[in-house]
Chains A and B, each alone.
Chain A
């Protein structure tokens, strides 16, 4: 009766774990393509047919190793990757059977027993740090990019020290992923395992406050910046500072780290402002917390909505109401928010960034009754902190400028992850973090 259990809990995993019989059947469906498109679609280029074949032969440890060798955060990527547009999207079986191989869940099946639920002989370390080579790297921020970079540096004999200002490591992986994709505990378990590769972690330590940037630059051979992005900043609306207007990420973090039953939204009306995947996470969490109505308010039309199609589908099946071509103008309420006022917009011609401009329709004002507003209109760049690193260059939108190796304008400083990309997937951060480690090792030690 295993299928029934999960369907009752709204926070149950969307991609649940596989049992052996299910995994074997799925693994045996894999055609084992030559030059496999799935492997190419993966930013970390995991040998997908290789690990699936190993599942089919019952060589699970070998399978996990194949995955983790390529992507040290393979266990969380198995859960949080938008596989629909990456490996599974590329699977040739989409054409043959309209059903790609369930690669994400197979990857979880292979890695979980060694990474997040290892007991007995499975807990034997899979990777070990190389003997120390005398080189030291400081990594700022303990998100996916830094973890990946640190693990790779440790495996190459570097002493890698990660500094994190939050009480727990993982960045968005720990604090910002919708619960039905990955739990807080899973992220921390995985990091614990990653750190066994030899890196050192110092949480509750803010660079620029507890330790000066200059100190890092003089004490370490190389510095890696993986600080990600900041909070979702204010929209600049009148009334925005009323209680009941929140940053969606702060909301999700609270949900992940506190008692969920105390956060019920039963009977409440919630508006999420934004059209990206983070906005969808806000929508689906609010729905799962029992909100009566959940609006997703986006200033452009459906065609310009940046969220993935499969994510939008999820928001719709959860019962969210899409309020498109709607631009919020002010927040009102007696002592906390009770109304969100918007105006209608009309899409215009595509602008230089490819996005279509929009114009406000005069006299189209309308109001939504709301008890809670979640801002999901894009995270801020960490311009302030980044500006304190000598010679580090930012582009116009505040992203760190790096070369192909991830090296910044300061030749001792490398960067990757969201602070460079402006906001991408975990798997991109892992790939780029690892690439930086290889480049750092080459530049400061002559490794390859």
Chain B
């Protein structure tokens, strides 16, 4: 059995799975039940100035009968009194000394106010702090959350203030609502952050009610943009995590990966791209704390299968494969190949290629009226689309075609070195 213990910027937890700062970590009772279920850590629902929430506050995106592939919220930080939260943090820590309790913080941009809240959170027993510079709605209108995270100077400044008094590790939670997340990560690092957490939610409108014409969630006939999360945002989060891992200025900065993680597979992907721990919100709001059982079981079976003894051996393994486009080999030729034995004759690949790609699949009626599809080899550009739409496992494979021509990247091509293999379109041009 692989060892799942992790150390994120000095914060120790029995496994890499933390609850993200959100409704599942509203109360001590929830956090305790989560730890009992097997979660390794919890980032407490953000503490700060007293706030008041709207009632209607969530909306979701469903897909093909699958509920909640994306979730949107217009909720603010904790609406419970600071004293109550601090008391419960102390209580949880006392009962669960080996689990990680990280306290998320967001207050107005004043040095004394930050000093004060840091001391109180640490006084309550926090194992680490997470600075919420990411909340994209409501709080940002008041100059907090994403309003700080979107300006590198502010991010650096407030991190510096926090580090003046903090005794526990400090993670800065980044907003994805910016052009280049590396700038934000660099700013956090230069302010002394021990690590970064990302992503917070993405500005969104999940949909519009076609009868009332009001976007969801509706609050007395009005709506407001919210923060988007859940499975749908994972690719965006993965890219941001990878770009921070690969950036020469932030390489090695500990990362707690967040965004659309629902299973051990998602978690493994974040870890491969450089995250040390991962945080989960939507999946728990959907299915409850119990999902942790399979996350732990699945990750540990996976590590065993790969012959890895600790999670750390998995971390960052994919980072070196992420490159700029200009460095990719333009002479790596692949082509679709359809296994006629497996084909069920649905014709999805034909439609996709014919309408959406390169007209490289032909379809005809065979005996019994069954659709027979064939790849037109010298028209196929190897884009992968047909293999992506095919509902049958391993029916359409992308096969590498050997070429006489040596590898050549765009960079090499532009500098006059290297030669391009002939491309399928060439024919059509004559």
Contact = CB atoms under 8 A, between A and B. Distances in A.
Interface of A: 1-2, 19-21, 28, 32, 50, 53-54, 57-59, 61-62, 121
B294 A54 contact: yes
A50 B344 CA distance: 31
Interface of B: 66, 263-265, 287, 293-294, 297-298, 301, 305, 341-344, 391-393
B393 A59 contact: no
A19 B265 CA distance: 21
Contacts of B343: 1
Given A62-B294, A62-B297, A62-B301, A57 B264 contact: yes
B148 to A, nearest CB: 37
B294 A32 contact: no
Given A1-B341, A28-B66, A121-B305, A57 B393 contact: no
A19 B287 contact: no
Q: A-B pairs with the 9 shortest C-beta distances?
A: A59-B298, A57-B263, A62-B297, A21-B393, A20-B393, A61-B301, A54-B294, A21-B392, A57-B298
A58 B265 contact: yes
B393 A54 contact: no
A32 to B, nearest CB: 7
Nearest to B342: A2
Q: Which of B265, B301, B305, B391 has the most CB of A within 10 A?
A: B301
A313 to B, nearest CB: 28
Contacts of B265: 57-58
Contacts of B392: 21
Nearest to B291: A53
Contacts of B344: 1-2
B298 A62 contact: yes
Contact of B391 (A1, A21, A50, A53): A21
A54 B294 CA distance: 7
A445 B148 CA distance: 65
B305 A59 contact: no
Contacts of A121: 305
A50 B293 CA distance: 10
B171 to A, nearest CB: 28
A57 B294 contact: yes
A1 B305 CA distance: 33
Given A19-B393, A57-B294, A121-B305, 6 more contacts: A1-B344, A54-B297, A57-B298, A58-B265, A59-B294, A62-B298
B186 to A, nearest CB: 36
Contact of A59 (B66, B297, B342, B391): B297
25 contacts: A1-B341, A1-B343, A1-B344, A19-B393, A20-B393, A21-B391, A21-B393, A50-B293, A50-B294, A53-B294, A54-B297, A54-B298, A57-B263, A57-B264, A57-B265, A57-B298, A59-B264, A59-B294, A59-B297, A59-B301, A61-B301, A62-B294, A62-B297, A62-B298, A62-B301
Contact of B287 (A21, A32, A58, A59): A32
A61 B300 CA distance: 11
A70 to B, nearest CB: 15
Nearest to B301: A61
A4 to B, nearest CB: 10
B295 to A, nearest CB: 9
A97 to B, nearest CB: 10
A20 B392 CA distance: 9
Contacts of A57: 263-265, 294, 298
Nearest to B286: A32
A53 B292 CA distance: 12
Nearest to A21: B393
B166 to A, nearest CB: 38
B386 to A, nearest CB: 16
A437 to B, nearest CB: 25
Contacts of B297: 54, 59, 62
Contacts of B264: 57, 59
A121 B305 CA distance: 8
Contacts of B391: 21
A428 B103 CA distance: 51
A90 B392 CA distance: 30
Contacts of A21: 391-393
Contacts of A2: 342, 344
